[in-house]
């Protein structure tokens, strides 16, 4: 073992390889951002859907999405429409595909009578396959502990 200077017989040559680590890090961050934001972009219309317990829906063909909010306004594919416009669009869809499905999302505060009128309107237009869209009920929610007396 020699003390003193280090042996520097070779001169350092420039590195010609690309460092892939920063590129991979950026791609992973973008992937995480996409994974987090993709489910949030499904529907921009805010509805309080009723919660039910049941089997998850299977894969279904593309359907006509109809929504009814708490104020009784109608939406077709997240765009506000009148009853006449909805009926016209439903008739066109029924002419194109008589077995087309309708996915009906109704706020839980909407009276059943309005939902029944909407179903009748869709059936008059020729669409009889109507499914209700709900959110899953939380089955394992802990019960709240009673508040301590003051």
DSSP state, residue 39: G
The CATH architecture one would assign to domain 71-136 is 2-Layer Sandwich (3.30)
96: left (phi over 0), alpha (psi -120 to 50) or beta: alpha
pLDDT tens sequence across 99-126: 889 999 998 898 989 999 999 999 998 8
pLDDT of residue 150: 46
pLDDT tens sequence across 16-50: 778 888 899 999 999 999 998 887 776 667 778 78
- The C-alpha atoms of residue 109 and residue 39 are separated, in whole angstroms, by 25
Report residue 145's pLDDT band, with 50, 70 and 90 as the boundaries: very low
Domain range summary for the chain, segments of one domain joined by +: 71-136
């Amino acid at each position: 073992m020699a003390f003193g200077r280090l042996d520097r017989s070779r001169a350092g040559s420039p590195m010609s390889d690309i460092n892939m680590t920063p590129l991979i890090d950026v791609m992973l961050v973008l992937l995480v951002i996409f994974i987090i934001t993709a489910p949030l972009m499904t529907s921009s219309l805010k509805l309080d859907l009723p919660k039910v317990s049941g089997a998850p829906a299977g894969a279904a063909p593309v359907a006509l999405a109809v929504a009814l909010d708490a104020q009784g306004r109608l939406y077709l594919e997240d765009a506000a429409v009148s009853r006449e416009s909805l009926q016209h669009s439903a008739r066109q869809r029924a002419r194109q595909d008589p077995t087309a499905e309708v996915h009906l999302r109704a706020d839980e505060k909407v009276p059943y009578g309005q939902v029944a009128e909407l179903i009748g309107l869709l059936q008059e237009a020729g669409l009889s396959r109507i499914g209700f869209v709900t959110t899953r009920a939380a089955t394992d929610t802990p019960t709240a502990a009673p508040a301590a007396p003051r």
